[in-house]
């Protein structure tokens, strides 16, 4: 795959991930995270770190999940491998937090693992669709 198709997939992935995650964090689960993690949360978001996460995450999902699924022409592969990647990536944060951060709520870890799995499965499926429809 050349640079242009990658950039198209990457752009679509950023739109999907940002839209879904900002809706989740800013509306749907905002109160949940505030109640559970309020004592650990910064008063202001460190946007540089957040932007870096989104840029890296989408690039890796496109490269190791979506592009191989497009090559195999398999939407189910994109969704399943996306879910597995999301579970592993979010587990790195949540399970490490449970292991190292005093009073990190197990409920947050559980909800966040479910969210990361779902988010990345949907992201991968949506980006696969963009790539497959371009062929």
Structural domain range at position 38 = 3-134
Number of domains in the chain: 1
The pLDDT value recorded for residue 3 is 66
Q: Residue 1 pLDDT > 60, yes or no?
A: no
Average pLDDT rounded to a whole number, residues 18-29: 94
Residues 55-106 pLDDT 10s: 999 999 999 999 999 999 999 999 999 999 999 999 999 999 999 999 999 9
Q: Which residues, 6 or more positions from 132, have their beta carbon under 8 angstroms from its beta carbon?
A: 70, 73, 75
Q: Which of 88, 63, 93 is nearest to 78 (CA)?
A: 63
The pLDDT value recorded for residue 22 is 93
Calpha distance 70→98 (Å, rounded): 36
Q: Residue 135 pLDDT > 90, yes or no?
A: no
**End-to-end Cα distance, the chain:** 11
The pLDDT value recorded for residue 2 is 64
Q: Which of 93, 124, 120, 121 is nearest to 109 (CA)?
A: 93
Average pLDDT rounded to a whole number, residues 33-42: 90
């Amino acid at each position: 795959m050349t640079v242009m198709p990658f950039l198209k997939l990457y752009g679509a992935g950023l739109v999907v991930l940002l839209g879904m995650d900002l809706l989740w964090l800013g509306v749907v689960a905002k109160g949940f995270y505030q109640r559970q993690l309020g004592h650990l949360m910064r008063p202001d978001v460190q946007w540089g770190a957040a932007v870096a996460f989104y840029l890296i995450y989408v690039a890796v999902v496109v490269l190791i999940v979506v592009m191989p699924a497009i090559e195999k022409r398999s939407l189910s592969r994109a969704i399943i491998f996306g879910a597995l990647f999301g579970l592993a990536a979010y587990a790195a944060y949540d399970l490490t937090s449970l292991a190292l951060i005093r009073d990190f709520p197990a409920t947050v870890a559980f909800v966040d693992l479910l969210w990361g799995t779902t988010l990345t499965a949907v992201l991968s499926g949506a980006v696969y669709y963009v790539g497959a429809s371009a062929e």
